[in-house]
Amino acid sequence: MYLHNTKKLISIVVLLNIFQFAHGQSKLDSIQHLKEVVVTVRSYKEVIPAQKLTGEDLKALNSFSVADAIRYFSGIQVKDYGGIGGLKTVNIRSMGTHHVGVFYDGIQLGNAQNGQIDLGKFSLDNMEDISLYNGQKSDIFQPAKDFGSSGSVYLHTRTPQFSKNKNYNLKTTLKTGSFDLINPSVLYEHKIGNDLKASFNVEMMNTSGKYKYRYKRVYPGLKEVMYDTTAVRKNGDVFSFRSEAGLYGTIPDGLWKVKLYYYDSNRGLPGAIVNNVWKNSQRQWDRSFFVQGSFQKSVTNKYEIQANAKFAYDFMRFLNPDTTTMRIDNSFHQREWYGSLANKYAITPNWDISLSTDVQYNSLSSDMPGFFFPQRTTSLIALASAVEMGNFKIQGSILATFVNEDLRIGNYNPDSPYQDTVVAAPDKQELTPAFFISYKPFRNKDLNFRAFYKKIFRMPTFNDLYYTNIGFSALKPEFTHQFDVGFQYSRSFKNGFIKYVQMQADAYYNEVTDKIVAEPAKSSLYRWTMTNIGSVEIWGIDASLSAAFQLLYDIGMNLKLAYTYQKAQDFTRKDNPVLQEMSYGGQINYIPWHSGSVIASMTHKSWQLNYSFIYVGERYENSVNIQEFYQQPWYTHDMAIIKNFKMNNINMRIAGEINNLFGQDYEVVLNYPMPKRNYRILLTIEL
């Protein structure tokens, strides 16, 4: 019992250090800050540590949204469809966007319609840290949903913290710069009592999205220029408004929180530059609202419970006013109800078990002709265990998933030949295991070896199953099998200019089976069908290095390096023998063989200089790896200079940023040109 309580006390002290670091309350210098981050992210019984960017790390990046920031993790690919207003989705280790779980303050963000979370919608203004886990988070005390993804991104917003004799915090930020950007935000935190705190955050962003770009195309194989011109990107304007409110409470041996979130945007979709078309008139309106709550309590010294609940509503309207192609004006409404209860019991001080049960209900409706209204009820049960045995840490879990599909009549379309053939997808039951192990060979050396295996799947989306002229309700889930081995080593130095160093590397093999791909129906090229014929194999290496230095004249420096190698091959069988020969074994679309990033930050008293670099190597836009689909490497350099100062006890921060310093012309996705050199100025005032 004494050992258990001692470890519990140590965990509380560690958590207090994290909060101090995240909110600038610590009196340690920046080098010690970095050391705190590395030590504290490895919580009790953690087997596979996360890649993590804290609040201080995020300030060192010229990043505008969550999507911009997570590009600096190893093993990540972000698809960016052009500028501030473009869709931004994340892919972990080439398994596909649909296999990534995105969690906001501990509860997963959902999109049953198409399965993709647009990370460009989420601001960094109120973000405390971003964590990336391969496999799953190394914490068995969590909802069953947390066990259900191949990889997970956790977004944690700021939790109110107050200095002594202070009961409020006020932070205002104004960003302006290229693309006619105006981006103000206000954060207010209030201490209602010793056990109750509140926060309110509002942010508005308006931009024309206009920027110059170079469009150059060459005839494949002939090296003759088809187009070489400079144009202005149009229809990339965005107006968005975000508001959040939170209540944070503590009770004896427990805590709870409630969060309300609202997002509203009106944006142009700049579209692809194809067939000499330089402007797109499509527009999209989004409204997202959710309210969620969490409760956690230690019932006894051995038994803890955790409850989560959420309601979410999402509205999307898409307009294509171009009557020369096909005028489209459709609206979609999504609703989600979610509840979870997790239980953890300590059998011994070194052995825990947990049981989690979740229930989630999703529905989708639309004014689209011939659209059926699907409904899905998902029940999940996760049984997990974690044990420490000497130098070994072991975790295992098994997840049972039960899915029930239902259809309502919706919008009957008598002109559609497929109206009467649509049926609800069959019910599905799946059992998926995961196993994690780490080994620390030396007691006084911070060296760890780890390995894991995980089998998991993703359900077909509503679009895959029921979308007019595309969906196929008999689809099976798309499975992934993940194998990983790696190590992590860290060391602190008392003397010399190197103060801290951490390095880690992983080699992995992933296999995606029953991959869902679109195939034209044999009866009609107009009607495409989603089928389970895809197969992908991924071999890869992730490596990263973090270091802290103390240079001359009170100059400190932090450095983070990340590198990824991936061989992601498409082994999908094709009916066409020529296409089969050309594509079989080819690198899948938009996955580079080599990619990496650098983050460097230098501090001197109240000044800070930040530099970041991203490199994405050569890749192909199609698994047919021929010259016609070749995409050249791209890279960007970003820099920022920051000054912190005080005026009448008011903390102020001003920053100047230069993004894409050398003005490189590049495309993350073919025909979606990215901005050249651009600028931002930031002013922050804190009371």
What pLDDT band is residue 39 in, cutting at 50, 70 and 90?
very low
Judge whether residue 277 has pLDDT over 80.
no
What distance in Å separates the CA atoms of residue 26 and residue 160, rounded to the nearest whole number?
15
Judge whether residue 468 has pLDDT over 70.
no
The 10s digit of each residue's pLDDT in 508-529 is 999 998 887 665 444 333 344 5
Give the pLDDT score at 234. Answer: 85
Per-residue pLDDT, averaged over 225-235, amounts to: 79
The 10s digit of each residue's pLDDT in 281-339 is 888 899 999 999 999 999 999 999 999 999 999 999 989 888 777 788 889 999 999 99
Nearest CA to 295 out of 311, 280, 307 is that of: 307
The 10s digit of each residue's pLDDT in 376-429 is 999 999 999 999 998 999 999 999 999 998 988 777 665 655 555 667 888 889
Q: Which two tokens stand for residue 389?
A: 């045995």
Residue 383 parent element (H or E): strand 373-389
What pLDDT band is residue 29 in, cutting at 50, 70 and 90?
very low
Give the pLDDT score at 3. Answer: 38
Give the pLDDT score at 222. Answer: 63
Q: Which two tokens stand for residue 63?
A: 């990043």
What distance in Å separates the CA atoms of residue 473 and residue 531, rounded to the nearest whole number?
10
Give the pLDDT score at 471. Answer: 54
Q: Which two tokens stand for residue 159?
A: 């939790």
DSSP per residue, 135-201? SS-S-SSS-GGGGS-SEEEEEEEPPP---TT--EEEEEEEEEETTTEEEEEEEEEEEEETTEEEEEE
Give the pLDDT score at 418. Answer: 54
List residues bridging with 172 in a β-sheet.
186, 685
The 10s digit of each residue's pLDDT in 637-675 is 999 999 998 888 889 999 999 989 998 888 888 888 888
Nearest CA to 380 out of 362, 402, 363, 397 is that of: 402
% of the chain with per-residue pLDDT over 90 = 43
Judge whether residue 26 has pLDDT over 60.
no
What distance in Å separates the CA atoms of residue 130 and residue 258, rounded to the nearest whole number?
20
- In the chain, how long is the greatest CA-to-CA distance? 80
DSSP code, position 120: G
Nearest CA to 273 out of 233, 305, 304, 312 is that of: 233
Ranges 20-24, 96-100, 132-136, 280-284: which has the least confidence? 20-24
Describe the chain by its helix, strand, coil percentages, rounded to 5: 10, 55, 35
What distance in Å separates the CA atoms of residue 231 and residue 235, rounded to the nearest whole number?
13
What pLDDT band is residue 219 in, cutting at 50, 70 and 90?
low
For residue 462, which phi and psi values (nearest 5 degrees)? -60, -35
Q: pTM of the entire structure?
A: 0.85
Spell out a b/e string for 493-512, using b for 16 or more CB atoms within 10 Å of the CB, else e.
eeeeeebbbbebbbbbebbb
Per-residue pLDDT, averaged over 101-126, amounts to: 84
Per-residue pLDDT, averaged over 109-113, amounts to: 85
% of the chain with per-residue pLDDT over 70 = 85
Give the pLDDT score at 521. Answer: 45
Best-predicted range by mean pLDDT (5-9, 127-131, 162-166, 348-352):
348-352
> What is the three-class DSSP state of 579?
helix
Give the pLDDT score at 473. Answer: 62
Which residue has tokens 């230095």? 549
Per-residue pLDDT, averaged over 340-351, amounts to: 95
At position 162, the amino acid (one-letter code) is F
Judge whether residue 472 has pLDDT over 70.
no
Mean pLDDT of the chain: 83
Judge whether residue 169 has pLDDT over 50.
yes
What distance in Å separates the CA atoms of residue 503 and residue 491, rounded to the nearest whole number?
9
